Amino acid sequence: MRIILILFLSIFLNMGSNNFDFNKSSPLDLLDYLCKNPNENFFIINPDSIPINWIKIEHIPYLIERIESERISTPVFSINAGIDLKYKNRTTEGVEALFMIESYRKKEKYPSTLSSTNCGVLKNGIFYPNQALIIEVKSWYKKTKKNQFSE
């Protein structure tokens, strides 16, 4: 039933979710895709379709560079989320980068929660990066980086 629903949504709502190949692309490629297609209402991901460890430690420095970006993006939702088909809010590249980092930090499959909007603060229809989360992630990264090079 889920497969039929995803196929229906992808074809008839022009979400673009089927246009992205996670097996041949990196998290940075997905960020670029989401920012190049900000007018899509949402991008649905089935966590079971994402390769295990898709987000790797080597991606983290590049994701960290983008966590404060306010470049407009399409929001990401898990297939398990309830979605209003008329959803019009947008996210930013920073929110999407934070969402990816959070999956990595939690050692969970991407997406680790129902929506990337959980990493943002809504202002005028756009979820901007949550400043408290940015501080937390930067602190975590500083410790992680220090531990990597001290071994």
Backbone angles phi, psi at 148, to 5 degrees: -65, -40
Query: What pLDDT was estimated at residue 11?
Result: 37
pLDDT higher than threshold 60 for residue 47: yes
Q: Does the pLDDT at position 1 exceed 80?
A: no
Longest dimension (CA), the chain: 52
Cβ–Cβ under 8 Å, residues 63 and 97: yes
**pTM of the full predicted structure?**
0.84
Q: Is 103 exposed, middle or buried (0-12, 13-18, 19+ CB in 10 A)?
A: buried
Mean pLDDT of 47-71: 94
Q: What pLDDT shows up at residue 10?
A: 43
CA 76 to chain centre: 6
- One-letter amino acid at 118 equals N
* Inter-residue contact 127 to 91 (CB < 8 Å): yes
Q: Once rounded to an integer, what is the mean pLDDT over residues 55-79? A: 96
Q: Does the pLDDT value for residue 13 go beyond 60?
A: no
- In whole numbers, what is the pLDDT of the chain averaged over residues? 86
Is pLDDT above 60 for 18? no
Residue holding tokens 């039933």?
A: 1
Looking at residue 116, the DSSP 8-state letter turns out to be G
The Cα 78–Cα 75 span in angstroms is: 10
